[in-house]
Structure formats: structure tokens, C-alpha cells
Structure 1
């Protein structure tokens, strides 16, 4: 009988190259949690990097965030105590069931255990239970901000699986969404206080996606600003960036607080008088962070114009821009630092 030659073991370099070229996960088509481009982050890191807690792999291990790891373990214990009737083995199986899929959502390796921390945090927050993280004056604000950073997300299906295991399948995804929305709307900064679409509308990639879907209007929902010149324009005006406030004022435009705006996107411009009326918004680090991460989320998905509601908040006065010429965008009209 003819003997076959033994297959020589692979060279370690060959193995390393194969692992680089053909990784265990896919080619990146399933990535849903992206890095903000470095050239954008470097302009103002505070807008995109967590100040208190790391979620997912991108900031795990950072010295300034390590103190929160003990709080994560503490909230994990509280979560398991809250689910006393559910065996620990059920949660372990739930984690194992989504772990591989979750890792494919990032460009770096991750753990799904942050999902326990997020759920317990929202349980406590929703029920008004005392906790050191929420009782400190700045704790709740920083946590809320950190949980809505583009680079600081965990796949939503992880939260769904853990939530389903906690309630033993007795509730639906709608219940989870409602719990999250209660807190997102109560602590809204840039977004409206009430969801624009309170009903369940589909699958979400993560918490920031949920915020965007529920609170940021789609382009078709944004009516063009009214221009009171006596006759309607025969064709839609061309969309342009808002000139900075100083350029608008130099052109003779004055600003007034709108008495009864439908929402923050309701802008009107009186061409004859040169008066723009809009909602007054106080801009500070928290709501600026939220807005910029919503825009980064839209851009990371290759979002089409119909979905770019957050970016359109920076372009709402396009009628004005068409009349007096677009300048370099520094601060949207009506925003005050």
C-alpha cells in the first residue's frame, strides 16, 4: 500500500499571516460600532472619549476609567440579586450565545459583560433606587453622556438577550426600549424631550442608534423653513451650510426667539425684514457631545440624506444661506455658548 508523505507543520510566520489575512470574524461588513476618524477626534477629544466609564473594547484599560470597573462588578452583583429566580448558568449561556456575534461588531476584541452593567444601571435609574453612581452630583450626567458616545457602545442585541433572560421571555423588546426611552427623554439635552417616533420601528445597533431613531427626525419629516415673501418658491431651495452667526449679522440678519416652535428644528426666516426666528438652545459640553456623536453615527453608517437629521440641525437655515451666501460654519444660528 502506497504511503502518503506526512504534511509538514505550518511555519509560525505562515500561520500568523493567514490569521491576519483570513481572521475568524468577517471582513468588517458587520461592524456596527465604529471608531471616530482620528483627524476629527483630535480636534476635541472630550466630545468623543468617555470621561467616567468604558463600554466595549475601545477604551478598556484606560487609567482614568479603571475605577469604574469595581462599580461594574458591584452592579453585576446587584443585577444577579435582582434576578434571584434566574440561575447564573442561564446568564452565562445567554452571554455565550451572543459573544461571537458581538465581537464581529467591533474592529477590536470585546466582552459582552458590560451589558449587565448597562441594564442594572437603567433599572436603578428607572426605579429611583439609591446608588453611589447616581447620588454624586456629576455622576449621572457623565454616565449618561458616556453611554451615548459612538465609540463607547455595546451591541443592542446583547442587551436584548440579557433582558430576555432576566424576564424569562415574559416581556418583549418593546419593554426594554420603553425603559431606555424614559431616561433618554428625561435627560435629553439637544434632542426633544419627547420621542418623535414612540412606537417600535425596527432593529437598533446600540443605544446611540436608539436615540437617533427615536429623537432625530428624518429629512422628510423636516419641513422647509417658512419664507414670508408673499409667494411660494417654485422649486425647493438648494441645501447649503449655515453661515456663522457673525456673517449673518454682518449681512443684516437679526435673530429672535421663536414663541411656539414645533420642535428644535422649526426655523422661519422673514426675507423682507431679515429676521430669523428659532428655538434658543444653550450649548455646553454635554449637549454638544451628544449632537456631535449623533452626527458621527450618521456618517459612520454612510447615512443617506433622508436619514441625516442630526447633520441637518447644522443646516436648517439653508434658505438664508441661499440668499446671502454660505460662509464657513463656526456656530449654528441661534446657538449660544
Structure 2
């Protein structure tokens, strides 16, 4: 077969055409599949980007007003009981706990009684006021509070009025209703007071104080302030006799913050600038062996510890049954909020080094430095040794930095231990003193006799 130009025409081969088409179809299918994969990938990227942007938009801003925290996990896991409310929830973190649901009805009763006896306080006005504080109050918590505006406002109202009414009834027993489940049961009152010192069981102080002033502002001259009422209520648990003026003058974040201030010195010292590592002081027994005399200090402030003329004066530390829960929560609060101002952590770290064994605790108890209500020396030792466990401790607190150095330097001088050993072994009684004197006289006479004998030989 010839083509138009006379050249032989190549015969068609159907199998070759079919193969070309098959290759072309495969390539097109591959291209379409790649395109689909790219489209799917881009869609997935876009969906993920949208999800991340949504999280970024809903991410709470870090606020300097945040002062109510969840307890750090390491502390919580080791001592959960010390951080968990038993009978009442204040604020959002434990309000759904089944074990304390019954107190919610009692909060309503307190609100009813409060409105009945304070005719100038209208419920609608309280709600309006609290709702105006909602945004600021939410910023006081370190977690996003999963409550709508009405739920959050109701919670703040019930808890705030509950606290105010509780303080008023504590101060004025004649106002209490018959059958009040809190004041009619000493154990319940103890648990309520203890629950209100927990870090996770707080509400912003400004909100409670705002309600208090709203109701009693016109009568403020004729009644104590909110902090005074709070101090009267918490006093049995803290065992602090006088409320320092620094508490009244401070910007309190919540009631746990106010309790912490009760223990702090009225005049603060600037922290030391040294970067040296913290020195571990010897235990009480080792200090005594090095000639240090332990004495109970006269000051009511725990931080007024003085070492002078080989005498270490330490103010009395009373270990009561509420002490563990209160101190653990203050320490957790300092870990989260007062990282550069951790007074109680530094104090308990000092006491931890001082008390290594029940023998150390007994020595301090015998000296009146520790007043132990826990029943035995082992319990006091365990509490002191575990309060600062899993915490970050600073070493440049001015109240302890120089004190540690002085104690360590004193114990490192060998003659201090030799002098103490000599006094213990040879001067512990009049007869021991007389025997030492007799031995010295005998030794002197022997030396004199020997010298005289040598001189006579010459």
C-alpha cells in the first residue's frame, strides 16, 4: 500500500495504539490522584490552621491579677487531703464535688437571712454589682472558668454573701438561727474554717469587700471592717494573738493571702544579692554539740531568729492540728504567686534543716521553741520535714542568709566542739569540777617537783 507520495504506508498496529492509550490514561490518573492528594492536604492544613487560630482567639491572656491557682501537681499528688475541701466550696474549682453539695442549700439559707435582716440590700442590685465585676473576677483564676455569665454571677453572689454572713454570725452569736448546721456543730465549724484557707477554695477579696461595703458602707463606723471580721474568724486556727497593721494596709488578694500576711514581719528586709549556694545548717543536736545554746525567743514573729554570743534565739513555733493544711496551702501559694518573696518556704526550710530526727524535735520542744500539739515527737518531725518537699527554695532571704553563714562558720571551728566536749565531760557537776581542779593541782605539783629535782642535780 502506497501513500500519496508513493512511499509505502506503514500498516496500523492496534496493540501499539492500545498500549499508548493505556500509558496516557495511567499518567492522567496519576496526575489527578496527585492533584486530589494536594487538595486534600491543603484542606487539612486549612482546617488545622483554622482550629489553631480558634484556640489562639480563645486563649486567655496572662493577667497580673491572677492570684487563685490550682495546686502544683507534685504537691497535690503527695498531700491531696491537705488541699481538698471537706464541707464547703468557695469559688469554681470544687463547686461540683458531690461530697460538699449539701452546703449549697445552706448558702441559700444564709442569703435569705442576709436579705431579710438587711432591707437596704436588694438582690437585683447585688446581681448588677457582681456582674459588673465578672470580667475582673475571672482574671483572678489561673484556669478558664467554664460557667456562663449567669452561673458565674450566681456563684459569686452565693459564696460572697455566705462568707460575710458567716463572719457576722461568728462575731454575734445572738444572730444565729436555731439549728444552724455550722454553728450548731463544732466539728462542722472547724472544717468550714479549714476549707476557707485552701488555695483552690478562694474567691477574689475585692468582690467580697465590694459586697460588704455596698451593704454596710453607711454603717462602717459602727462595725468592724471585713478584714477584722475575717481575722476574728480565722484566729483560732492561726493562733496569732494580734493582727499586724501590715495586714490592714496591704492589698489582700484573698483570705489565704491575708492569713499569710499574719505570719510575716511588719518590716521587710531587702533580699541579699549574693549568688552563693544555700548552706545547709547543722541540726539542733549538732549545733548544741558545737556549743550553740538554744533559747526560745520573745518575739511573736517566726522570722525574728537571732544568733549572738553563741546563743540561737528562735520564736516559738506552735504546731496545731490545722497547721499542716494551712501551711501547705500558703507554701503552694508562695510557689505560684510569691516566687521571689517566699517567706514561709524559707522559714520552713530552715526548720527542716534544724530538725532531722525526733531527737532534734524533742530538744526544741524541751526548750519551748516548738509547742507540739500532734501527740509525739515523730509526728512533729514528719510534718517539719515534709512541708517544703517538692518546692523551690530561695537562698537569699535576708532573714536566713546571714544567719545560715554564721551558724555554719561557728560549727566549722574545731575548738568550739572541743570546748563543748570538755564542759560536758568534766564540768557537768560540782564533783566533776573538783576532780578536774585536783588533777590540775596534782599535775602542777608533779611538774614543780620534777623541775626542782632537775635543778638539784645541777
Cα offsets for 1:29-86 (capped at 9, x unmatched): 4322111110111111122221221111111111221122122122121221222232
**TM-score by structure 1 length?**
0.73
CA RMSD of aligned residues (A): 3.8
Match of 1:104 in 2: 139
1:298 aligns with 2:348: no
The within-5 A match list for 1:15-30 is 17-23=52-58, 26-30=61-65
The counterpart of 1:179, out of the listed 229, 237, 241, is 229
1:118 aligns with 2:169: no
User: Could you say which structure has the larger radius of gyration?
Assistant: 2
CA contact (8 A) 1:148 1:293 kept: yes
Match of 2:345 in 1: 311
1:95 aligns with 2:130: yes
Give me the whole-angstrom Cα distance separating, in 2, the residues matched to 1:61 and 1:281: 37
C-alpha spacing 1:68/1:258, structure 2 compared with 1 (3 Å):
same
Give me the whole-angstrom Cα distance separating, in 1, the residues matched to 2:308 and 2:64: 47
Q: How far apart are residue 320 of structure 1 and its match? A: 6.7
C-alpha spacing 1:208/1:242, structure 2 compared with 1 (3 Å):
farther
Q: How far apart are residue 218 of structure 1 and its match? A: 6.3
Q: How far apart are residue 12 of structure 1 and its match? A: 10
User: Secondary structure in 1 aligned to 2:156?
Assistant: coil
Contiguous gaps of at least 5 residues in structure 1: 1-10, 223-235, 326-337
Q: How far apart are residue 119 of structure 1 and its match? A: 1.0
Q: Whose relative contact order is higher, 1 or 2, with alpha carbons under 8 Å and at least 6 apart?
A: 1
Moved more, 311-320 or 62-71: 311-320
Q: How many residues align?
A: 299
The within-5 A match list for 1:1-337 is 17-23=52-58, 26-106=61-141, 107-109=143-145, 110=152, 111-113=155-157, 114-128=159-173, 129-130=175-176, 131-167=180-216, 171=220, 175-184=225-234, 186-189=235-238, 192-197=240-245, 200-217=248-265, 220=268, 240=278, 245=283, 248=286, 256=294, 258=296, 260-269=298-307, 272=310, 276-305=312-341, 308-314=342-348, 315=350, 321-322=404-405, 323-324=407-408
CA contact (8 A) 1:102 1:112 kept: no
Cα offsets for 1:166-197 (capped at 9, x unmatched): 1255539982222222333x32426x321222
C-alpha spacing 1:215/1:168, structure 2 compared with 1 (3 Å):
same
Give me the whole-angstrom Cα distance separating, in 1, the residues matched to 2:186 and 2:115: 27
Give me the whole-angstrom Cα distance separating, in 1, the residues matched to 2:64 and 2:139: 9
**TM-score by structure 2 length?**
0.56
Moved more, 315-324 or 295-304: 315-324
CA contact (8 A) 1:33 1:153 kept: yes
C-alpha spacing 1:22/1:167, structure 2 compared with 1 (3 Å):
same
CA contact (8 A) 1:47 1:285 kept: no
Q: As a proportion of its length, which structure holds more helix?
A: 2
CA contact (8 A) 2:263 2:301 kept: no
CA contact (8 A) 2:87 2:100 kept: yes
